[in-house]
Amino acid sequence: MTTDAAPSLDPVELGAYFALIEVSSLLRHTVEQQLQEVGGLSYVQFQLLATLGDAPDGSRRMTDLADGVVYSRSGLTYQAGLLEKAGYVTRAPSPDDERGVTVTLTDAGRDVLARVFPGHIGVVRDLLVDPLDRADVESLARVLGTVRDHLRANPPRSAAPRRKARGRA
């Protein structure tokens, strides 16, 4: 039901896709530079720290940290290791489940987050928010929120359950 018939997108749909890719790519690239310059953080590292910062106690289990940030376990272990070595997080066995590891934000972690945040916000405002009027920002938030919710509800899986477009050729 997905891509059996001749798949195509009209110009508007294609335009939305291409614009999304180009905008997010450039925005992310610029933010990455800012994070690297100011805090020596990669974007993934920032996302992990920010996720911890959102948690009431600054703690989260590895698995819960992975969410939309990283796509493999070992990748998360690697990044968490770097953050721990930098002193931004600690890792300890989870109290309730000895298999799990609880990652906790340190004071130094909160510091680097605070140091990095203003410039981060500045980039996002300059590149994404300022060029738009209020109504467009609201529209963008709503529409992309819809897409995000659908993605979360239907995890795209590793393209495994997806049909092998054995089309022409």
Shortest distance, CB of residue 96 to a second copy, whole angstroms?
28
Q: How far apart are CA 51 and CA 44, in angstroms?
A: 10
The CA angle 74-56-44, to the nearest 5 degrees, is 30
CB nearer to a second copy: pick between 92 and 121: 121
Helix count (H) and strand count (E) of the chain? 6, 3
Q: Which residues does residue 104 pair with via DSSP β-bridges, in sequence order? A: 59, 90
Shortest distance, CB of residue 54 to DNA, whole angstroms?
17
Residue with tokens 């990669």: 42
73 binds a second copy (CB under 8 A): no
56 makes contact, choosing from a second copy, DNA, none, with CB < 5 to 8 Å by partner type, with: none
Q: How far apart are CA 60 and CA 103, in angstroms?
A: 5
Q: How far apart are CA 149 and CA 152, in angstroms?
A: 5
CB nearer to DNA: pick between 11 and 161: 161
Write the binding mask 97 to 116 for DNA: x where contact by CB under 7 A, - elsewhere: xxxxx---------------
90 binds DNA (CB under 7 A): no
Q: Between helices 11-39 and 43-54, what is the axis angle to 10°?
A: 80
> Where does this chain bind a second copy (CB under 8 A)?
2-3, 6-9, 12-13, 15-17, 19-30, 33-34, 37-38, 68, 71, 111, 114-115, 118-119, 121-129, 131-132, 136-141, 143-148, 150-151, 156, 158-159, 162, 165, 167-169
